[in-house]
């Protein structure tokens, strides 16, 4: 085991114990030795039991985003996989890295400005813009301005039209 870690941990243990085994420090912290002779520290038992180590491994976070439980059916929370029929459309809206729909409501200026943002669009983004604006006008009776960022594959719609966009999104099955 690494001396540095052992030394640090033992120094802490010694500090906690009432024994007068506090190792002498030099005037400078940096100049002082990292580890004193091990006899100065209280005794410890080093365990390398794999059964115990399993409890430690459970506490470490996962390094990548896991795949959802099922990629073929709708799950109880309402999460659903991408419908293969959506691939026939001239455009496609991808999922976020967390496998969630990439439609967001952005609220700015303490609720004064609201934008609905659709990201990760591939294919004919201008066609999607027309379809969305038609749908929004149908539902709300109002035209909403839509800014197309063709390079980035992103639409920014003025106003809170999240529900209308999500209805469109689910209908197409992205």
Partner 1 sequence: MAVNRNVVDRALAVLRTLPRVSLYNLKDHEHRKKRSARGQHGGGTHGHGKKFRQNYLPLGFESGNTPFHLRFGMEKYYKRYRLEREYPPVSLLMLQKMIDTNRLDTTQPIDLSSICNSGVYSMNINFNHHGVNLTDEEGFDQFCAKINIEVQWASEGAIAAIERNGGVITTSYYDPLCLHAVTDPARFFLKGDPIPKRMIPPEDAIEYYSSADNRGYLADPEKVSLARLALAQKYGYELPKIEDDPDYTMLTMRKDPRQIFYGLEPGWVVSLKDKAILKPKDKELLEYYRT
Site of interaction with partner 1 (CB under 8 A): 1-2, 5-6, 8-9, 12-13, 16-19, 42-49, 52-56, 58-62, 65-69, 75-79, 98-99
**Minimum CB distance to partner 1, residue 4 (Å):** 9
Rounded CA gap, 158 and 108, in Å?
Answer: 11
Least distance in angstroms from the C-beta of 7 to partner 1: 9
Q: Is 173 helix (H, G, I), strand (E, B) or coil?
A: coil
| Least distance to partner 1, CB of residue 93, Å | 19
Instruction: Enumerate the β-bridge partners of residue 107.
Output: 114
Min dist. Cβ of residue 35 to partner 1 (A): 12
16 or 39, CB closer to partner 1? 16
CA nearest 140: which of 119, 123, 122, 157? 157
For partner 1, give the closer residue by CB, 63 or 151: 63
Residue 19: exposure state from Cβ atoms within 10 A (0-12, 13-18, ≥19): exposed
24 or 62, CB closer to partner 1? 62
Of residues 86, 87, 88, 169, the one with CA closest to residue 131: 169
């Amino acid at each position: 085991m690494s001396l540095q870690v052992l030394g640090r941990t033992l120094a802490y243990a010694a500090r906690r114990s009432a024994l007068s085994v506090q190792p002498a420090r030099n005037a400078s912290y940096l100049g002082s030795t990292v580890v004193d002779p091990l006899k100065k520290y209280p005794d410890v038992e080093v365990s390398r039991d794999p059964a115990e180590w399993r409890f430690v491994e459970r506490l470490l976070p996962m390094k990548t985003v896991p795949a959802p439980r099922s990629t073929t059916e709708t799950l109880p929370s309402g999460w659903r996989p991408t419908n293969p029929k959506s691939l026939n459309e001239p455009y496609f809206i991808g999922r976020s890295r967390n496998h969630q729909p990439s439609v967001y409501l952005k609220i700015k200026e303490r609720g004064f400005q609201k934008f609905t943002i659709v990201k990760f669009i591939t294919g004919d983004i201008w066609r999607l813009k027309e379809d969305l604006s038609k749908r929004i006008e149908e539902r709300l009776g109002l035209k909403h301005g839509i800014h197309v960022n063709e390079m980035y594959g992103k639409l920014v719609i003025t106003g809170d039209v999240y529900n209308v966009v999500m209805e469109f999104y689910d209908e197409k099955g992205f």
